[in-house]
Amino acid sequence: MGEFELIQRYFTRPTPKAVLGVGDDCALLQMAAGMQLAISSDMLVAGRHFFPDVDPRTLGHKALAVNLSDLAACGARPIAFTLALALPDASPAWLQAFSDGLLSLADAYGCELIGGDTTQGPLNICITVFGEVPANGVQRGTQPGTQAILRSGAQAGDDIYVSGTLGDARLALEAMQGRIQLPAAALAVARQRLEQPTPRVALGLALRGIASAAADISDGLLGDLGHILERSARGATVNTEIAINLLAAHAHFTGSSGQFGNIPSPQLALQCVLAGGDDYELVFTAPAAQRAAVQEASRTSATPVTRIGQIEAAPGLRLADGRGAAVANTYASFDHFAP
Ligand code: ADP
Ligand code: MG
């Protein structure tokens, strides 16, 4: 199978939204009047972001999911994406499963594959997504306005929320790399979160005009919340007693030794939730006056949200227990170039 047959067979699909899809030198998108293009890229490298022998179907899903998650964080509606793919060889079984996983998620979000590049080389997947967001909205300086939810809008007194559950992807990684042991039911739940994250696109759209700032959680809650704090020039306190309960696998620990059953340790649970990474949930802020609106956005998007803390004027990210007592923050987020 040659390069062009491969593209034709696995990556060429009807693209009703695009003016022009796969097959020419460029794809063409027509933006609707008053809409801005939201653009984001994410690369997945074998051995770095996934195990080389991972199920190609889940890999296809995840490669697009992590990109859709960025659109979700901005409150952008997905339109299209491009796929740059380096493959060690052209295995039909691998390509079929990969493109099935990729394109079924694309279909679910109405996001069309409109182009890309294909080359031989160590397995590497780079996707660029294109979304749309209305232009008429908050104006900053001389820039035209936007309804996109930015990292920079958090204000002192705003509530901090997260969507869904956190920490399970990291918990699965710990188990799959043999550092901890998990009951089978807990591992199944955690592994599903690692391999098939759900991009929170519906929630992001519902939060437009309600959230003051948002980011998606790819490197860990504290790190990604830290990005909001930096861009907003604010600080925050996060409640660790609420946070620790966000681990979905919790419900599947059946041991008898207290609250955590046979989970390795509450310390590890908190580490996973606060700094585990690979969650692809949203962390967002909203004024207290928007609490009912946030609940409504959660309901209409069928996405659970949990209030986990508050934005403060004093810079820095603080942790507190349920009674407000300070908890030492020793939870480092993932950094590819950490010394
Ligand atoms: P060029 O040589 O101009 O870069 P290519 O010959 O690489 O173009 O690609 C031919 C067409 O196939 C282009 O429209 C390109 O966008 C598309 N394409 C290449 N690889 C992929 C892929 N993995 N998925 C989707 N479209 C692809
Ligand atoms: Mg090319």
**pLDDT tens column, 73-118:** 999 999 999 999 999 999 999 999 999 999 999 999 999 999 999 9
Query: Domain 3-134 classified CATH 3.30.1330.10?
Result: yes
pLDDT higher than threshold 80 for residue 254: no
Stretch 158-166: mean pLDDT, rounded?
98
Ligand 2 centroid–CA 111 distance in Å is 22
State pLDDT tens for residues 230-252: 999 999 999 999 999 999 887 77
- H-state helical runs in 34-113: 56-74, 92-108
Neighbours of 310 (CB within 10 A): 18
Ligand 1: residue whose CA is nearest its atom 20: 117
Local confidence band at 256 (pLDDT 50, 70, 90 cut-offs): very low
Q: Could you tell me if 46 and 118 are in contact, meaning their C-beta atoms sit under 8 angstroms apart?
A: no
Per the structure block, which two tokens stand in for 123? 């397995």
Local confidence band at 336 (pLDDT 50, 70, 90 cut-offs): low
Q: Could you tell me if 151 and 160 are in contact, meaning their C-beta atoms sit under 8 angstroms apart?
A: no
Ligand 1 centroid–CA 50 distance in Å is 25
pLDDT higher than threshold 70 for residue 308: yes
Q: Name residues whose C-beta falls within 8 Å of residue 289's C-beta, 6 or more positions apart in sequence.
A: none
Q: Phi then psi for 42, rounded to 5 degrees? A: -140, 140
Confidence at residue 113, expressed as pLDDT on a 0 to 100 scale: 98
Local confidence band at 52 (pLDDT 50, 70, 90 cut-offs): confident
Torsion on CA atoms 215, 218, 219, 225, rounded to nearest 10: 20
Q: First and final CA of the chain: distance in angstroms? A: 43
Q: Could you tell me if 224 and 162 are in contact, meaning their C-beta atoms sit under 8 angstroms apart?
A: no
Torsion on CA atoms 299, 304, 309, 314, rounded to nearest 10: -70
Stretch 170-177: mean pLDDT, rounded?
91
Confidence at residue 268, expressed as pLDDT on a 0 to 100 scale: 85
Amino acid at 173: L
What's the pTM value of the predicted model, to 2 decimals? 0.93
| β-bridge partners, 37 | 132
Q: Could you tell me if 203 and 282 are in contact, meaning their C-beta atoms sit under 8 angstroms apart?
A: yes
Q: Phi then psi for 124, rounded to 5 degrees? A: -155, 135
Percent of the chain whose pLDDT exceeds 90 = 79
Confidence at residue 183, expressed as pLDDT on a 0 to 100 scale: 84
Confidence at residue 326, expressed as pLDDT on a 0 to 100 scale: 94
> Does the beta carbon of 115 sit less than 6 angstroms from any atom of ligand 1?
yes
Confidence at residue 257, expressed as pLDDT on a 0 to 100 scale: 45
Confidence at residue 54, expressed as pLDDT on a 0 to 100 scale: 92
Q: How far apart are CA 4 and CA 23, in angstroms?
A: 9
Stretch 261-287: mean pLDDT, rounded?
86
Neighbours of ion ligand 2 (CB under 5 A): 117
Q: Phi then psi for 23, rounded to 5 degrees? A: 130, -20
Q: How far apart are CA 212 and CA 230, in angstroms?
A: 14
**Given its phi and psi angles, is residue 169 left (phi above 0), alpha (psi -120 to 50 degrees) or beta?**
alpha
Confidence at residue 334, expressed as pLDDT on a 0 to 100 scale: 61
- Between 147 and 185, where is the model more confident? 147
The residue extents of the domains of the chain are 3-134, 149-327
Q: How far apart are CA 184 and CA 253, in angstroms?
A: 10
Confidence at residue 253, expressed as pLDDT on a 0 to 100 scale: 65
> Does the beta carbon of 116 sit less than 6 angstroms from any atom of ligand 1?
yes
pLDDT higher than threshold 90 for residue 259: no
Stretch 265-293: mean pLDDT, rounded?
93
Confidence at residue 333, expressed as pLDDT on a 0 to 100 scale: 64
Q: How far apart are CA 295 and CA 288, in angstroms?
A: 12
State pLDDT tens for residues 128-139: 999 999 998 777
pLDDT higher than threshold 90 for residue 161: yes
Ligand 2 centroid–CA 154 distance in Å is 42
Per the structure block, which two tokens stand in for 303? 């996405």
Q: Are strands 326-327 and 235-239 parallel, antiparallel or unpaired?
A: unpaired
> Does the beta carbon of 83 sit less than 6 angstroms from any atom of ligand 1?
yes
How would you label 247-267 residue by residue, b for 16+ Cβ within 10 Å and e otherwise? Answer: bbbbebbeeeeeebeebbeee
Q: What CATH number is given for 149-327 in this structure?
A: 3.90.650.10
